[in-house]
Amino acid sequence: MANPQKRLPENVPGDFFVDSTCINCDTCRQLAPATFGETRNYAYVQRQPQDMAERRLAVRALLSCPTGSIGSKGKEATKEVMDDFPLAIEDEVYYCGFASPKSFGGSSYFVQQPGGNWLIDSPKYIPRLVRAFESLGGIRYIFLTHRDDVADADRYAARFDSARIIHRADLSAQPDAEIILEGDEAVEISPNFLVIPTPGHTRGHLVLLHHKRYLFTGDHLWWNRRAERLGAYRRFCWYSWPEQIESMKKLLEYSFEWVLPGHGQRIKLAPKVLRENLTGLIAHMEES
């Protein structure tokens, strides 16, 4: 729970606050952008919720904060809001919430499919989310974009008898994974689920393209809300920036309209606009 004694001075007065344990993972700003702002090192409450709808969004952020750094002096309906998760994004795609500190607050996603549901990276393992996944039909595959964001994937795999998918180069993060991919060629695991190796951030980084619409990008690609364009993290490239550039070029071969990252803002745009953005990002990466 957030500590009022550690309340950051940037918070505006009112019920909601962020304390100094914040790791600036961006989860709260994605869920309640009107309420939470950003400094260089952490989030803070830039404006208290103005109505019940905004208050509910702020409670979602409070529940999903991986470090428990958001607090409220009000009597919030947290148990009721817990049932909002997983949050529908579009059609059969959901955002899981309940970000894990093990993945530095990385976003995870759930895709409901007649042939078996998918979990993309892992949220925190909590009973309410387990029950929600059960009600949606369980989890057949757990797709792990890379070693950083596996979180509680092993517990979900054990609970649902799921097959975890990971690249051999990142296998140390889940050494008993059931499906181990090799090399740098794209692989279709099941209809409409194409795995594309994108080494760079880590040697074994992967992205997942679903229905030629949804691209789950891990830490490879994200939307920069300040610059209003696609972005990539050179500062957090653990393996090879030149290889990440080459991996980015691979994505020009594919059409998609959603970018759903592990870290950073998700975005939906027309495929043509995303392709233009991606071309511009590659040029920027090559110059940096």
Q: Are 4 and 20 in contact (CB under 8 A)?
A: no
pTM of the prediction? 0.96
Statement: residue 54 has pLDDT above 80: yes
Could you give the C-alpha distances from 63 to 78, 190, 222, 254, 256, in angstroms and in order? 7, 33, 23, 35, 31
Maximum Cα interatomic distance, the chain, rounded to a whole number of Å? 53
Q: What percent of the chain has pLDDT over 70?
A: 100
What is the per-residue pLDDT for 219? 97
Q: Are 144 and 173 in contact (CB under 8 A)?
A: yes
**At 78, is the pLDDT very low, low, confident or very high (cuts 50, 70, 90)?**
confident
What are the chain's domains? 4-76 (3.30.70.20), 83-287 (3.60.15.10)
